[in-house]
Structure 1
Amino acid sequence: MKNAYEICVVHGDGIGPEVCQATLRVLEAAFGEALPLRFSEYPAGAQHFLKTGDSFPRETFEACHSADAILHGAAGIPGINHPDGTEAGLDFTLTLRSKLDLYANVRPIKLHPGVRSPLRDAAPGAIDYVIVRENSEGLYAARGAGSLLRDEVAIDPLVQSRKGIERIVHFAFELARSRDGAPQGRRRRVTCCDKANVLRSYAFFRSVFDEVAAQYPDIEAEHVLIDAMTVHLINRPSHYDVIVTENMFGDIISDLGAATIGGMGMSPSAELGDGNGFFQASHGSAPDIAGKGIANPYGTILAAAMMLNWLGLRHADPRLIDAGKRIETSVTYALADKSVLSRDIGGTAGSLEITEVICAGLRERV
């Protein structure tokens, strides 16, 4: 337990500064005058690349490396690219994942009261699972390492290591032990999502999954092929508790899952390693609505609640765990009791109104 925790804040691009500022206000309201967090702001992203030619300054990386946690708004602006065509703004997140070994990308998919799902039969509580995405290997490990031969053939290798698979699968099973199980039947369950019937790399992922699963007899284990998973997440989302999968598959199905709970604006994300934690919403920078005051801050605010819980468990600090729970409660209050919905989830509320209602709820609960 510390007197104060250093939080490195990187606002990023597009709506990033708006959702970050909203989240900082919520964090301050959660603690009142007893705020145990120190915020330091640093630049990175596509806009910084346009100004300086550097998308991720060394100073920002050092601040992220030494901070107790990293809070981020959003990254990237389409069209602002490196000569090889890759987005300059994505350097920040992708570099952190590799250099800080943030191997576990944790994406909760939860339908909150007051939010209508596109799935007609889905009610609050019926969708509540977590996608655990291996974050350091898989196909995305090939970024910058693939080959383009004579402008005719492009190759990107898919990398899976025993160490990488074992640690992400252990992470998934430990997470399942901490949860209450799937909404349907309350069975604690870890689902391995792969393409083992076609590719050796995924067959290897599945075989290592099975080895680790044998060490958790208290948790149900199962396999689902990626193509079938895209169907199941629509037809029977209540079956799922924790899903563990390769990097690219996790990226894809977490967006699909987010669509079933109101969209990317409702989807927080934590990227965790053994020493560092990086927290943001799962959405992009949405430059088309930047500066209009209509961005949905709920995802970033929920990511901050995840940050507090992670820090609280890591440092045995009940103040942080309690504040994280109160933020989640205040989000529910804003959505369900006050019907404060942003435009992307069927409402008219702007960022400021949402922030004020959540802060008011927190001040009542300090």
Structure 2
Amino acid sequence: MPHARPATYRIATIEGDGIGPEVARSAMEIVKEACGEAKFYFVMADGGAGHYQKTGDVLPAETAKLCRECDAILHGAAGLPGIVYPDGTEVGNELHLKLRFDLDLYANVRPIKLLKGVTSPLRAFEGGGIDYVIVRENTEGLYASRGAGVLLRGEVASDSLVVTRKGTERVARFAFDLSRKRKGALRDGKRRVTVCDKANILRSYAFFRSICDEVKSDFADIDIDYAYADAMTVHLVKRPDFYDVIVAENMFGDIISDLGAATVGGMGISPSGEIGDRHGLFQGAHGSAPDIAGQDAASPVAAVLSAVMMLRWLSDRHDDESLAGDAARIERAVEAVLGAGDHVPADLGGSARCSGMTRAILSALN
């Protein structure tokens, strides 16, 4: 059921570290231009590795509260070299991990789409031949052991893989619902959910698959398909046009989504959303790239396309069709800029600056 439509959407905005502030500001500027200044209010909030270095807190309580209260969350990037916890794990990751669990953002959504003007290493699929979505279970799997694994006397280490009925059922349902909203796989037009697992080896993955099968019974109009994770790495290279929506356990989803991103131009143009029943966090799939921070050298495309995802999520949640239209306009503007070839970011082989890409997208919007 859609929620009441607010007069102004309040977006908790954590610019974060490295290139995070640059790309977040680009996304904010473009959203305001597309949707109108009055429709969005970006509430700036502290957080990230740099904030931890200064205060000892990667996610302040006031930021966490703001994220719970706002309509959505926009995040730039987090993480800085050498800023780690005593156990060696990176501080930057903790920002969105805390939000992920605090807000129960159980579906990590990674669109894999080849945009016009982008050269793919998979030459056979250029011209728009890649367009699918990976839905990664975001709160369980092997990563549920983060911070809770066992290290015995410096000799033996172990982590547990956690799969629950509730966690799998809801992410599977999310994947089938998403497929129902899409137009199907490019190869044959069929709406299809592919379950990526290792059900032939581990009981936990066999259980994951069985729950997906149970959920399928509520979606007679959607096909179900299966692929072992190792085989999937081959399929995403050889036949990406076969896929519509892929659902996977946390770690496998993490791995195959980066592989998918590489086939459509890389992490610098890959958006992502972490979505729950009440909250959504949106950020580019790339890291904080501190080596180019402050140099106007970053590509804002991933952050801008993440904002597009945010608009579509808000559109669905609040039955606000105007936001879906604005999202489509921004996406078309990005493709127009990349397709023209005059403004190409460095990660795609060009020399366009972050500010130049932003101005070009703004111009294309108008």
TM-score after normalising by structure 2: 0.97
Q: Which amino acid aligns with 1:17?
A: P
What is the CA deviation profile of residues 95-154 of structure 1, one whole-angstrom value per residue up to 9, with x for unaligned ones?
A: 111110000111000000000001121213200000000001111111111111111111
Q: Which residue of 1 aligns with 2:293?
A: 290
Q: Secondary structure at the match of 2:173?
A: helix
2:241 to 234, 238, 241: 238
Whichever residue aligns with residue 145 of structure 1, its letter is A
**8 Å Cα contact 2:32-2:39 kept in structure 1:** no
> Does 2:263 match 1:260?
yes
Q: Deviations over 1:144-198 (max 9, x none)?
A: 1111111111111110000110110011011001000111111111100001111
Q: Which residue of 2 aligns with 1:32?
A: 36
1:215 is displaced (CA, Å) by 2.0
Q: Please state whether the residue corresponding to 2:171 is helix, strand or coil.
A: helix
What is the identity, as a one-letter code, of the residue corresponding to 2:36? Answer: G
CA contact (8 A) 1:265 1:282 kept: yes
The answer as to 2:16 corresponding to 1:12 is yes
**Paired position in structure 2 for 1:93:** 96
Asked whether the 8 Å contact 1:181–1:188 carries over to 2, the reply is: yes
2:339 equivalent among 328, 336, 339: 336
Pick one of 170, 173, 185 that aligns with 1:170.
Answer: 173
Q: Conserved in 1, the CA contact under 8 Å of 2:109 and 2:273?
A: yes
CA distance in 1, matches of 2:212, 2:227: 12
- Equivalent residues in 2 for 1:1-366 (5 A)? 1-33=5-37, 35-362=38-365, 364=366
CA deviation string 1:299-323 (max 9, x = no partner): 1100001101111111111221111
Q: Quick one: distance in 1 between partners of 2:342 and 2:162? A: 45
The letter for the 2-side match of 1:107 is R
| Conservation of the 8 A alpha-carbon contact between 1:230 and 1:256 | yes
Q: Which runs of 5+ in 2 are unaligned?
A: none
Aligned CA RMSD, in angstroms, stands at 1.0
- SS of the aligned residue for 2:42 comes to strand
Which amino acid letter does the alignment assign opposite residue 36 of structure 1?
K
| Aligned pairs, number | 362
Residue identity matched to 1:13: D
Q: Summarize deviations over 1:34-86 as a string: whole Å, max 9, x none.
A: x3111111111111111111111111111111110000001112321000111
In structure 1, runs of 5+ residues without a counterpart are: none
TM-score (normalised: structure 1):
0.97
Deviations 1:213-233 (A, max 9, x none): 122121111110000000110
Query: 1:195-245, CA deviations, whole angstroms, 9 ceiling, x for partnerless residues?
Result: 111111101101111111122121111110000000110111111110000
The runs of at least 4 consecutive aligned structure 1 residues that moved more than 2 Å come to: none
